Amino acid sequence: MFDGLKDKLDSFRSDVEEEAADAEGEVEDAEGEADADAPSEDAPNESPAPTADPEGDDADDGPGRLQRAKAFATGKVVLEEEDLEDPLWNLEMALLESDVEMGVAEAILDDLRSNLIGETKSQMASTGDLVEDALRDALLSVISVGQFDFEERIATAEKPVTIVFTGVNGVGKTTTIAKMARYLDERGYSSVLANGDTYRAGANEQIREHAEALGKRLIAHEQGGDPAAVVYDGVEYAEANDVDVVLGDTAGRLHTSSDLMAQLEKIDRVVDPDLTLFVDEAVAGQDAVERAQQFDDAAEIDGAVLTKADADSQGGAAISVAYVTGKPVLFLGTGQGYDDLDPFDPEALVDDLLGS
């Protein structure tokens, strides 16, 4: 999962190590030349060399070179902006190629600059370790935005908890609901499915197959019925039968579909769900990020589920959605089975991306 992005992050680490090693070599050579040019104890006294004109030929060395030489003399090495210029440019292109949203890529690069430029390290330390720590901080700062403990939210909420799933057509929304029912079962929570997708022909049959396979009660109305009424009936059933969680499906829609977006608004008014989760495919990359933003603007979401994450080598959506929307990615779909729904753990993801 996200193997392409892993390779690109590893390339950045290698690029910085190479640039830093070249810079350290230059400082060592300069120190050696200075020692060779120094007069011996037996040599006659000579007039001191003239001070370099700060605006003359030596000005290119600048304070950065002087700082680096002083640090080297005390057993340390300084990373300068010139060491990072090419690696950061390459990383930015790599992130954009991996479908990371531009603002997110810029935030990662800004964080890396602030954490690395001027940073000193022992000559015995690894530049790669320094870069890895900076990458970890930069990635976590964008991936962890808005993160909350889903299981704790379910555990502490008044029952029944109502969760409504929304998103565009064909991204695995109904299958995700079935996976969520299994996920809740394994943690001791009962659930009922409510098919608020009264718009699409065959929607009842699709979700009924999942309900029967999982041994779940399905609340459904005829095609063309009121989606808010279906989810409301699901809540009433849950209250009457001590069911912990109501999982409400909705029709796939685009944010530009005013009538379908109005249905979501009505569900919000009538049912007041505890959580509204946006579902999209991780492999959709930038499109998934843009749609998440549009849905959050049109009908506020509480978090996202990214399906087909196991087929995504780029990772752009997983990296970007939380930062762009301010709402966390909560789960990743990682296969076709009911058990293939994994809680999204930003720290574990970053460790995996960095090969830690």
Domain co-membership, 130 together with 220: no
CA-nearest of 79, 73, 74 to 116 is 79
Domain co-membership, 199 together with 311: yes
Residue showing tokens 């829609």? 253
Domain with 159 in it:
150-343
23 pLDDT band, cuts 50/70/90, is: low
Q: Is residue 47 part of a domain?
A: no
Q: What is the pLDDT of residue 63?
A: 46
Contact 121, 127 (CB under 8 A): yes
- Sheet of 161-166: strands edge to edge? 218-219, 191-196, 245-250, 161-166, 275-281, 303-307, 329-333, 341-343
Domain co-membership, 168 together with 118: no
Q: What confidence tens digit (pLDDT) does each residue in 90-116 have?
A: 999 999 999 999 999 999 999 998 888
Domain co-membership, 121 together with 167: no
Q: What is the CATH number of the domain that holds 193?
A: 3.40.50.300
Backbone angles phi, psi at 122, to 5 degrees: -65, 145
Backbone angles phi, psi at 53, to 5 degrees: -70, 120
Domain co-membership, 15 together with 101: yes
Q: What confidence tens digit (pLDDT) does each residue in 199-208 have?
A: 887 888 999 9
Q: Is residue 244 part of a domain?
A: yes
- In this predicted structure, the answer to whether residue 228 has a pLDDT above a threshold of 90 is yes
Q: Is residue 272 part of a domain?
A: yes
* CA 200 to chain centroid: 32
- In this predicted structure, the answer to whether residue 178 has a pLDDT above a threshold of 90 is yes
Domain co-membership, 84 together with 163: no
Domain co-membership, 29 together with 102: yes
Last residue of a domain, one of 89, 123, 143: 143
Q: Is residue 328 part of a domain?
A: yes
Domain co-membership, 138 together with 199: no
Q: What is the mean pLDDT of residues 29-45?
A: 52
**Nearby residues of 204 by Cβ (< 8 Å), 6 or more positions away:** 195, 220, 223
Q: What is the CATH number of the domain that holds 116?
A: 1.20.120.140
The count of structural domains within the chain is 2
Q: Is residue 351 part of a domain?
A: no
Domain co-membership, 89 together with 165: no
Q: What confidence tens digit (pLDDT) does each residue in 52-78 have?
A: 444 444 444 444 555 545 444 444 555
Q: Which two tokens stand for residue 337?
A: 């089975």
**Amino acid identity of 3?**
D
Determine the 3-state secondary structure of 352 from DSSP. Answer: helix
Bridge partners, 304 (sequence order): 278, 329
CA-nearest of 111, 108, 113, 120 to 68 is 120
Domain co-membership, 170 together with 139: no
265-271, long-range: CB within 8 Å, 24+ apart, which pairs? 265/299, 266/226, 266/227, 266/228, 267/164, 267/196, 267/227, 267/228, 267/231, 268/299, 269/228, 270/228, 270/229, 270/231, 270/232, 271/162, 271/164, 271/228, 271/231, 271/232, 271/235
